[in-house]
Amino acid sequence: MRKRIVIALGGNALGNSLPEQMIAVRETAKAIADLIEQGHEVIIAHGNGPQVGMIQKAMTELTRANPAKYIPCPLSVCVAMSQGYIGYDLQNGLREELMNRGIRKSVATVLTQVEVDPEDPAFAHPTKPIGSFMTKEEAERMMAERDYQVVEDSGRGYRRVVASPKPKAIVEIESVRDMVAAGLVVVACGGGGIPVFHTEGHHFKGAAAVIDKDFAASLMARELDADWLVILTAVEKVAVNFGKPDQRWLDHMTPEEALAYAAEGQFAPGSMLPKVQAGVEFATSKPGRQALITLLEKARDGIEGRTGTVISR
C-alpha cells in the first residue's frame, strides 16, 4: 500500500568531508529510491552534525586569519550553508538513481527555517554533538583554547556540544506540503532546520543552536500527515542494556515501553535518546502512525516488517 514516509537521515551517514559525502550519497540514494520505486511518497530530513562543525571551524579560522576582512559566522548561517550543500548532493544523487531506474520524478531541496523558543532551557544546557570526533587530548585543547563544551559520544570519541532547542514550527511547511502534493521528492528541515525565533513584527532572527533532526523530522511528519517516520541510524535495531552481557535488541516498543526504558537511562542523550523520543512523539500523535528506527540499507525491510525497531500502539 502507498504510504507517506518522512525519513530522518543521520548526518554521520553522509561522511565527514565533501569527497566522503559524494560517495555516501550514492548508497543513500539507492535505499531511498527503493521506497519510491514501491510507490511510496518520500520526504527527507537529514542531520548535519559533522558538516556544520566543519563549516563553522573553517569560518572561524578564516576570521582569525584576517579579522579586518571577515566577521564571525553565526551558527544559524552555518546550518543554512550545510542545508545547501548537503541538499545539492542528495537531490542530484537521488535524481540520478531514479532516472537510472526509469523513474521520472523531480527532487528539490527547501531551505527550511524552524522556529524555536528563545527561553528554551536547552540554551543553558548544550547537548547536541557537532563536528568531527576528537581524542581526549584534542578535546581538552579545544576547551582551553576556544571555550568549547565537549562530551564523550557513545564510546566513539569526544565531540563539541551546542544548544539543541525543541522545534516549535516549520516556517516553510506550506511550501513543503505543496511540493509533496505536486509529486516531488522533497529534502527539507536539513540539519534540523535553520533555528530562528520571532523578534519584532514578522522578523525572524537566527539562534545559536542546532536543532535535532529527529525532532524536526517528527514535527514535519506530523504536519504532513505522514504514515511512517523512519529514523535511519548506525544500528539495525534499538537495544536495551547496550554494550553489556545482557544486551537485548528490540523489534517493537509501545510508546509507554519506550518512555519507561528512557526513564531508566537506557538510551544515550544526543544519540539514541532523541530518536526514541521523536518516534514516541510521532507514534502517539494520531492512531495508526508508526516510527521505525533502523539502518539506512534496511529501510525497505523495516517498512515491510522484516527488521528494525518499530514504535507504535
DSSP 50-86: HHHHHHHHHHHHHHHH-TTT--PPPHHHHHHHHHHHH
pLDDT at 312: 97
- Number of structural domains the chain divides into: 1
**pLDDT on residue 39:** 95
Instruction: Please check the confidence at residue 300 and state whether its pLDDT lies above 80.
Output: yes
In terms of Cβ atoms closer than 10 Å to its own Cβ (0-12, 13-18, 19+), residue 280 is: buried
| Average pLDDT value for the chain | 92
Specify the pLDDT at position 12.
67
| H-assigned helices in the chain | 18-37, 49-65, 75-100, 136-146, 173-181, 213-223, 255-263, 272-283, 299-303
Q: Does the pLDDT value for residue 142 go beyond 80?
A: no
pLDDT tens digits, one per residue of 94-116? 999 999 999 999 999 999 999 99
- Residue 16: predicted pLDDT: 72
Are the C-beta atoms of 251 and 237 separated by less than 8 Å? Answer: yes
Look at residue 193 and tell me whether its pLDDT is greater than 80: yes
* Alpha-carbon distance values, 236 to 22, 76, 174, 290, 312 (Å): 23, 32, 33, 17, 17
Report how far residue 141's alpha carbon sits from residue 43's, in angstroms, rounded to the nearest whole number: 40
The residue among 151 and 96 whose pLDDT is bigger is: 96
* DSSP 8-class letter at 279: H
Residue 158 lies in a domain: no
Which range of residues forms the domain containing residue 248? 4-113+167-311
Do the domain assignments include residue 197? yes
Domain-embedded: residue 52: yes
In a domain, 86, yes or no: yes
In 10 A of CB 163, how many CB atoms? Answer: 22
Could you list the active site residues? 11-12, 128, 213, 275
Q: Is 141 contained in some domain?
A: no
Q: Half-sphere exposure (CA, 13 Å, Cβ side) for 294?
A: 26
- Residue 134, in any domain of the structure: no
Percent over 70 (pLDDT), the chain: 99
In the chain, % of residues over pLDDT 90:
66
Query: Is-contact 276 254, C-beta < 8 A?
Result: no
Smallest CA-to-CA distance from 308 within 290, 282, 286 is with 290
Whether 8 maps to a domain, the answer reads yes
| Averaged pLDDT, 257-279 | 94
Q: What is the pLDDT of residue 301?
A: 94
DSSP run (H or E) holding 293: strand 290-295
pLDDT tens sequence across 23-82? 889 989 999 999 999 999 999 999 988 888 888 888 878 888 888 888 878 889 999 999
* Distance separating alpha carbons of residues 89 and 14, to the nearest angstrom: 10
Let me know if residue 75 belongs to a domain.
yes
Q: How confident is the model at residue 208 (pLDDT cuts 50, 70, 90)?
A: confident
Q: What is the CATH number of the domain that holds 32?
A: 3.40.1160.10
pLDDT bracket for residue 153 (50, 70, 90): confident
Which secondary-structure segment (H or E) carries 152? strand 150-152
108: its cell numbers: 528539490
